Amino acid sequence: MAELLLDEEVSPAEAVVRVLEDGGVDLVVGMPGGLTIPIWDALYDHPHTIRSVLVREETRAGVVAEVYGRLTGRPAVAMGQGAFLTAAAIGAIEGHVSATPMLLFGDLSDGGPYALHGPYQSGDGRYGAWDAPGLFGSVCKEVFVANSPEEAPHCAQLALKHAVSGEPGPVAVLFSARSVRGRVGPESRPRLYRRGAAPIGGTSAVETAALARAAELLAGADRPAIVAGGGVRLSGAFDELSRLATELAAPVATTANGKSALAETDPLAVGVFGNFGTPIANAVVGDADVVLVVGSKLGPTDTANEHPELLDPTRQAIIQVDVEPTNLAWTTPVEVAVAGDAKVVLSRLRDELSGRGSDRRDGRTAWLQAAVDQHGRFDAPELTSSAVPTLPQRVIGDLSATLPPEAIVCCDAGENRIFMTHYFRSVASGSFIQPAGVGAMGYAIPGALAARLAHPDRPAVAVCGDGGFAIGMNGLMTAREEELPITVVVLNNGALGWVLHGQRERTIASRFADFDHAAIAHSMGVEGIRITDPDALGPAIEGALASGQTTVVDVVTSLDESYHKVTSPLLRRR
């Protein structure tokens, strides 16, 4: 029997918070302001069910909510006053492209009965005001506007449903002045019922015929390969992916967004494929006769701009699995399209394949080993180089060798992310996060904060360039205030590396002065270590993790290495 959400009259803000509780939301992050203040006030009475976190700027709130949703599958709320919440659009865009469940709560700052008199800050979209619903609608899956007290909690319920249903994504709720005043209760209309936390993704039903055809192709393949995208993380299908790959003896490449879907210490893991992919990943995907693509839209950075040596539906049988049917065969024709949640489909596929194709296992294993012998795997000599200034690859090599399996690594944007995508060897499934959807700088530090909030017992490491650190460093204040210890590793080469190396000899607006980021960290009341000797790096990372304190490890790195070195030759062979 249905149960009413409210058994007494309460403020609309209190009703909104009870909707969040009922829906399993346990984190609100942002800055109080405007018409959101009543909701913050209601949160004061719910500290044991919903954690409220203050950040110093709304962009960090958007990123924290996005990464939290990506790691847990549960939407968090980024909340702030309308005009200023627009800064959280960076996280929302990433969530929109990467299919992350998250909520944005803002207001219209509409001035109530004076909304048509050009009120200060108004975003209701009418004459003299800016259009908040239109702006957030461009970066969110849905936008709900609450125009009455009764609509405030109802909009929150609808937002929770839409954020996790089908292909997940960001959903915004904008509160008008009228919606946060008055009272709501059991007699309000529409009536509010307890709904609980909605399951993420779509139906668990999978078309039997498509599944059988996929299994038939995989069982008969001489050289099957798996491409794992962000949908594997979204579904939490790490174990199912590993078991299927083992059953098939098939190598697993990932998209950038899917990196660490299979721990890259696994013998079947070959790293990221595509524009900045590892040579072995691009080689095995390109040579495969059957390719199983799970949870990826196969965008141009994945396919090296549709290079036929990488993926070619005229010579390869491509099987695509996605929770969103419209993503199937969106960019690339496929032999078999399977609509369904990755966790369900991979489990069903393994059951279908049990005992089939075992006569081909030795050949598949020999094929992968030949590729390893020819191309190597996470063993570039630069990873252990003693060159001074420290090579960025050496930083990444020491991170791979030093971090414990339970650590979560959050990457930033820029050239440092390209190096990390290519060289870093994740040691556990689901342990690597990066902004592969929109590629926004300043992502790593708030991402690491979200990792600590989602998994308090796991170390969180932010890896960024000096450009990304400058954008996101106010997150160190939040780390200190909220007692969320993170380790921040800065690749400090004094430049916007990707921009500068792309400019070649015509460099402009891409170099920085020499800043000591360890000293900056000290001034914020956290630890800081400056590294100029590559041999001191490993011990510094170990010490930072062991200290239990927020620590910035500022590594002076070489500007001689560039993203050109890890750009796939396929991009130059068209």
Per residue, what are the HEC states of 317-375?
EEEEEECCHHHCCCCCCCCEEEECCHHHHHHHHHHHHCCCCHHHHHHHHHHHHHHHHHH
CB-CB contact of 529 with 518 (8 Å): yes
pLDDT band at 574 (very low <50, low <70, confident <90, very high): low
Whether residue 204 is predicted with pLDDT greater than 80 in this model: the reply is no
Contact 339, 320 (CB under 8 A): no
Which residue type is seen at 32?
P
pLDDT tier for residue 111 given thresholds of 50, 70 and 90: confident
pLDDT above 80 for 540:
yes
**Above pLDDT 70, what percent of the chain?**
99
291, 317 Cβ separation under 8 angstroms:
yes
DSSP assigned state of 391: P
Pick the CATH number of 381-566 from 3.40.630.10, 3.90.930.12, 3.40.50.970, 3.40.50.300: 3.40.50.970
Cα gap 234→346, rounded to integer Å: 14
Work out the average pLDDT over 7-19. 97
Q: According to the model, what pLDDT value does residue 100 have?
A: 96
Convert the pLDDT of each residue in 311-345 to its tens digit.
999 999 999 999 999 999 999 999 999 999 999 99
> Is pLDDT of 539 > 90?
yes
**Residue 218 to residue 158: CA distance in whole angstroms:** 40
pLDDT, one tens digit per residue, over 218-250 is 999 999 999 999 999 999 999 999 999 999 999
Q: Is the pLDDT of residue 253 over 60?
A: yes
Three-state secondary-structure class, residue 160: helix
User: Does residue 202 have a pLDDT over 60?
Assistant: no
CB of 431 closer than 8 Å to CB of 408:
yes
Residue 200: pLDDT over 90: no
Task: Considering the chain, tell me which residue range(s) the CATH 3.40.50.970 domain(s) occupy.
Answer: 12-180, 381-566
4 with 178: CB under 8 angstroms?
no
CA-closest candidate to residue 458, choices 432, 421, 477: 432
pLDDT of residue 551: 98
The highest-level CATH class for domain 12-180 is: alpha beta
Residue 214 has pLDDT above 60, yes or no: yes
Reported as a single tens digit per residue, the pLDDT across 373-405 is 999 999 999 999 999 999 999 999 999 999 999
* Secondary structure of residue 114 in the 3-state scheme: helix
Amino acid letter for position 24: G
Closest Cα partner for 570 from 247, 269, 263, 305? 305
Beta bridge partners of 209: none
Name the 3-class secondary structure at 119: coil
User: Does residue 561 carry a pLDDT above 60?
Assistant: yes
Domain 208-375: top CATH class: alpha beta
Mean pLDDT of 417-431: 97
Instruction: Give me the pLDDT at residue 196, please.
Output: 86
pLDDT at res. 201:
59
DSSP of 188-251: -SS--B---PPPSBS-S---HHHHHHHHHHHHT-SSEEEEE-HHHHHHT-HHHHHHHHHHHT--
Q: Are 450 and 68 in contact (CB under 8 A)?
A: yes
Tokens coding 338: 């399977």
What counts of helices (H) and strands (E) characterise the chain? 22, 18
Which pLDDT tens digit goes with each residue over 58-81?
999 999 999 999 999 999 999 999
CATH 3.40.50.1220 location in the chain: 208-375
Query: What integer is the mean pLDDT of 39-57?
Result: 98
List the one residue out of 61, 32, 57 whose CA is nearest residue 44.
32
Which H or E run includes 528? strand 527-531
| Res. 427: pLDDT tops 80 | yes
What does the block give as tokens for 216?
A: 């038939």
pLDDT, mean over the chain: 95
> Which pLDDT does position 179 carry in this prediction?
97
Question: Listing from the earlier edge strand, what are the strands of the sheet with 408-411?
Answer: 432-433, 408-411, 460-465, 487-492, 551-556, 527-531
The mean pLDDT value for 140-156 works out to 97
Q: For residue 391, which amino acid is it?
A: L
Percent of the chain with pLDDT over 90: 92
Phi then psi dihedrals of residue 403, to 5 deg: -70, 140
The residue-averaged pLDDT of 201-212 equals 78
CB within 8 A of 99, min separation 6: which ones? 167, 168, 169, 230, 231, 234, 324
